[in-house]
Amino acid sequence: MKYQIGKTGRVVVARFEDSEDVLGNITHIAKKENIRNAALYLIGGLRQGKIVVGPEREEIPPTPVWKELDESHEVLGIGTIFWQGDEPKIHFHGAFGKKDMVKVGCLREKSETFLVLEAVIVEIEGINAQREFDPASGLTLLKL
C-alpha cells in the first residue's frame, strides 16, 4: 500500500444542463482551474452514457464488459480526478437507475445530462499523484 496525506483546497460546484457532456465539462473545469487532484461527486440524471460493469473474466489484463445507457437514468456516484501527462483523467463509479433496474459501473466515453446534473469537485492539495499507463494490466492507474 502507498498513500499520501493532503488537505482540502478549493471546492467547485457545477450544474450541467440537459444534453451537456458531463465528463467533457468536468475535464474542461479541471483544465481551466488547474485542478490536479480531486474527489468528484455527481448526482442527477443522465440521458446517455457508456459504463464498464466489470471484466469478462478474472484475468489480467481484463477485458471490459460495456453497457450502454441509452435512455434517462438517475445517477449517484463518486470519482477522482488525477492528471496523466497534460490531461486530467476522470475515474468515476456510480449507480445508474431506471424504474426497478439498477446498474453499477465506471462511466467512460459518453455521458450526456438528462434535465440536470450536479457535480461537486473537492480539490486535494499537498499530494503528488498522477495516472500512468500500466502495461501489465492495460489500464491507466494511480501512481503515488
Range of the domain at 77: 10-143
The answer to whether residue 52 is domain-embedded is: yes
pLDDT tens sequence across 44-67: 999 999 999 999 999 999 999 999
Say how far apart CA 117 and CA 97 lie, in whole Å.
Answer: 14
The answer to whether residue 116 is domain-embedded is: yes
The answer to whether residue 73 is domain-embedded is: yes
The model's pTM: 0.95
The answer to whether residue 65 is domain-embedded is: yes
Instruction: Enter the C-alpha cell of residue 139.
Output: 489500464
- Percent helix, strand, coil in the chain (nearest 5)? 10, 65, 25
User: What's the total number of domains in the chain?
Assistant: 1
The answer to whether residue 97 is domain-embedded is: yes
Query: Which amino acid belongs to residue 115?
Result: L
Mean pLDDT confidence for 21-28: 98
Residue 105 belongs to domain with CATH number: 3.30.1330.80
